[in-house]
């Protein structure tokens, strides 16, 4: 059954939508605020989407032109044939060029890691970086939804990946959920700190309805979990970060963060212009849980 | 070897089609050939002598007759999955790879020891990779192929093969693999190759004897 668009207090739909065609993919961008104001690019986390910024973006739009990217395989952007960290950094760099850098970059979770890395790749296009709890997995790695378990040795992980790829030809997408409420429950099981009302808004924009039910828009293959990547490389890779970095975490322990303080400090030890902040009453989804406080923090940090 | 001509089969891997060529027929263990970076299956023609079984050669995604990947994100683990789809088609086999294809052969031999009887690693384009760890002092720049570049091979393959190949990562696959034979011709070899070469039981061969040595190693 189709569903009227839910409302959520403080959530404002984008004022404009854009499509950037990059490497054969349509990358979708949502925009708020004065098109002549200085730009801020927002990058969401894994299995999220740009509409998750519907409560943060309008607050930032008081001062900035705010553009949220749907990453490849997420939201309204195309599904790709493959996904990979460095390739997706190029997607973000293309989005920065599209909004007309130099821009401020703000990212959450995986998107936070992306914008911090992108600032090292295209330093001339970046003003300031805000990373909302996107400082990588714990030292032992984290098993991502849809990815292979990281505690196994590399050959065994690749074997599981290969098994999945063999099955992939016959399984092109998600199974449908009977109702939007089922999607909300599924997501709530993973992220119990997020309210059912917000998750209903978030899931509505993160899913599509068709005759046989509701399916996530995100590509089930966006997480892979194979390859030689190591969390201890994250800190040293930020040695070359030139832009000021505001590193933000919530005060509350949550499913995917924050990292224990000593490890977080280690990840950030090479950042030359480091600013730290915590948002009280927030877990991993800092901007979704406390959009007002997060917006105030960002407006205090990002010069016009 | 009887002349089977060059028959080709189309295989599905995820959302792309791959072309698997059969270069020759035979009754022994099948051989699957994995080409070097920015090449294709035809690069193997005339290179394999004295192989008793059928000889197959794959075009990796973005190469030869196989589809380019929409959005790129080429990675050697993904090429290993291309090769694994070919393995599912031809059954238990021996592998030979050149350059980046040699590294792919190592990955696949280590991940599927029950299906890969042995693997022969040749030098070639893409052998080195991007070193044992990222270059922390020089961040990557976004790739841009020449604006007028056309494929195949897909011009966006510029994103490989600068991939990181830690010694202990390569070694883990080397230890898990059933039989590995490295082709040595006195030329330089990257650290990941030398780490694999140090594993007890990994053999070396001259180029001239490579195919017969591989076939003999499977016979026992």
| Interface contact flag, A155 B142, Cβ < 8 Å | no
- Which residue would you say has higher pLDDT here, B138 or A256? B138
Chain A residues touching residue B74 (CB < 8 angstroms): 82, 84, 87
Contact assignment for B107 to A166 by CB distance below 8 Å: no
Distance of alpha carbon A160 from alpha carbon B92, whole angstroms = 18
| A2 compared with B13, residue with greater pLDDT | B13
Q: Do A24 and B14 touch (CB under 8 A)?
A: no
**In this complex, which of B14, B172, B173 lies closest to A81 when CB atoms are compared?**
B14
User: Which residues in B94-132 are b (16+ Cβ under 10 Å) and which e?
Assistant: bbbbbbbbbbbbbbbbbbbbebbbbbbbbbbbbbbbeeb
**B138:A89 CB<8 A:** no
pLDDT in tens, A240-288: 999 999 999 999 998 888 999 999 999 999 999 999 999 999 999 999 9
Q: Which residue has the tokens 């005759």?
A: A211
Partner-chain contact B14 A226, CB within 8 Å:
no
> What value of ipTM does the predicted structure carry?
0.95
pLDDT of residue A146: 64
Measured between CA atoms, the residue of chain B closest to residue A93 is B142
Please give the C-alpha separations between residue A159 and each of A84, A144, A170, B176, in angstroms, as whole numbers.
18, 17, 18, 11
Task: Provide, as residue numbers in chain A, all residues whose Cβ is less than 8 Å from the Cβ of B111.
Answer: 155-156, 158-159, 162
Phi, psi of A197 (to 5 degrees): -65, -45
Does residue B137 register a pLDDT over 50? yes
Is residue B5 predicted with pLDDT exceeding 60? no
Q: Is residue B2 predicted with pLDDT exceeding 50?
A: no
More confident: A220 or B96: B96
Beta bridge mates, A287: none
Contact across the interface for B15 and A81, Cβ inside 8 Å: yes
Alpha helices in B91-129 (DSSP H): 100-111
CB contact under 8 A, A81 and B111: no
Number of residue pairs across A and B with CB atoms under 8 Å?
A: 132
Q: Read off the pLDDT of residues A70-115 as tens digits, 9 standing for 90 and up.
A: 999 999 999 999 999 999 999 999 999 999 989 999 999 999 999 9
Q: Which of A24, A72, A159 sits opposite B112 (nearest CB)?
A: A159
Instruction: Tell me the nearest-neighbour CA distance from A169 into chain B, angstroms.
Output: 5
Query: Is A165 in Cβ contact with B85 (below 8 Å)?
Result: yes
pLDDT per residue over B96-118, tens digit each? 999 999 999 999 999 999 999 99
Asked if the Cβ–Cβ distance from A82 to B72 is below 8 Å, we say yes
Which tens digit of pLDDT belongs to each residue from B39-89? 999 999 999 988 999 999 999 999 999 999 999 999 999 999 999 999 999
Query: How far is Cα A220 from Cα A168, in angstroms, rounded to an integer?
Result: 10
Closest CA to B113 of B87, B134, B137, B148: B87
Mutate to test the interface with A, among B70, B71, B108, B191 (most CBs of A within 10 A): B71
Which region, left, alpha or beta, applies to residue A47 given φ > 0 means left and ψ of -120 to 50 means alpha?
left
Q: Which of A165, A220, A267 to mutate to test the interface with B (most CBs of B within 10 A)?
A: A165
Q: What are phi and psi of A136, to 5 degrees?
A: 90, 170
Q: Contact at 8 Å (CB) between A183 and A216?
A: yes
| Residue pLDDT, tens place only, A105-122 | 999 999 999 999 999 999
**A172 confidence band (pLDDT: 50, 70, 90):** low
Is the minimum CB–CB distance between B137 and chain A shorter than 8 Å? yes
Contact A271, A150 (CB under 8 A): no
Chain B, residues 6-65, CB within 8 A of chain A, namely: 12-16, 61
Chain A's closest residue to B138, CA to CA, is A240
Q: Which residues of B touch A24 (CB under 8 A)?
A: 70-71
Q: Which of B70, B139, B164 sits opposite A81 (nearest CB)?
A: B70
């Amino acid at each position: 059954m189709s569903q009227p668009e839910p409302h959520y207090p403080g959530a404002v739909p984008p004022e404009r939508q854009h499509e950037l065609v990059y490497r054969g993919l349509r990358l979708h961008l949502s925009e708020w605020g004065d098109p002549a104001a200085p730009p801020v690019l927002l990058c969401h986390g894994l299995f999220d989407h740009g509409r998750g910024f519907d409560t943060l973006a309008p607050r930032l739009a008081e001062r900035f032109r705010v553009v949220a990217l749907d990453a490849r395989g997420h939201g309204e952007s195309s599904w790709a044939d493959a996904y990979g960290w460095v390739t997706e950094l190029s997607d973000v760099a293309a989005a920065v060029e599209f909004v007309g850098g130099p821009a401020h970059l703000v990212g959450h979770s995986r998107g936070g890691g992306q914008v911090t890395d992108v600032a090292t790749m295209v330093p001339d296009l970046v003003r300031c970086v805000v990373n909302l709890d996107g400082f990588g997995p714990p030292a032992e790695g984290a098993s991502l939804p849809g990815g292979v378990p990281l505690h196994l040795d590399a050959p065994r992980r690749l074997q599981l990946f290969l098994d999945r790829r063999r099955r992939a030809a016959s399984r092109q997408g998600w199974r449908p959920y009977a109702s939007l409420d089922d999607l909300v429950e599924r997501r709530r099981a993973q992220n119990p700190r997020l309210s059912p009302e917000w998750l209903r808004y978030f899931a509505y924009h993160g899913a599509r309805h068709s005759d046989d039910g509701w399916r996530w828009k995100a590509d089930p293959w966006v997480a892979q979990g194979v390859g030689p990547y190591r969390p201890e490389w994250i800190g040293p890779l930020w040695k070359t970060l030139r832009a000021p970095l505001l590193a933000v975490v919530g005060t509350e322990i949550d499913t995917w963060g924050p990292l224990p303080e000593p490890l977080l400090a280690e990840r950030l030890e090479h950042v030359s212009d480091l600013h730290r902040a915590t948002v009280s009453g927030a877990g991993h989804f800092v901007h979704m849980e406390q959009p007002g406080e997060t917006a105030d923090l960002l407006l205090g940090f990002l010069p016009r | 070897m009887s002349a089977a001509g060059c028959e080709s089969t189309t295989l599905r891997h995820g959302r792309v089609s791959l072309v698997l060529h059969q270069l020759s027929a035979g009754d022994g263990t099948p051989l699957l050939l994995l080409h070097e970076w920015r090449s294709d299956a035809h690069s193997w023609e005339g290179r394999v002598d004295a192989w008793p079984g059928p000889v197959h050669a794959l075009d990796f995604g973005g190469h030869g007759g196989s589809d380019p990947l929409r959005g790129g994100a080429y990675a050697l683990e993904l090429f290993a999955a291309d090769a694994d789809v070919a393995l599912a088609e031809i059954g238990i086999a021996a592998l030979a790879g050149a350059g980046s294809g040699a590294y792919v052969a190592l990955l696949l031999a280590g991940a599927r020891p029950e299906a890969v009887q042995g693997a022969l690693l040749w030098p070639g384009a893409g052998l080195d990779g991007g070193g044992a760890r990222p270059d922390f002092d020089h961040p990557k720049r976004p790739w841009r192929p020449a604006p007028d570049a056309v494929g195949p091979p897909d011009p966006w393959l510029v994103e490989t093969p600068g991939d990181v190949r830690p010694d202990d990562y390569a070694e883990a696959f080397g230890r898990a693999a059933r039989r590995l034979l490295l082709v040595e011709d006195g030329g330089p070899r990257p650290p990941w190759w030398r780490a694999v070469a140090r594993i007890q039981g990994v053999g070396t061969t001259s180029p001239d004897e490579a195919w017969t040595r591989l076939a003999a190693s499977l016979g026992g």
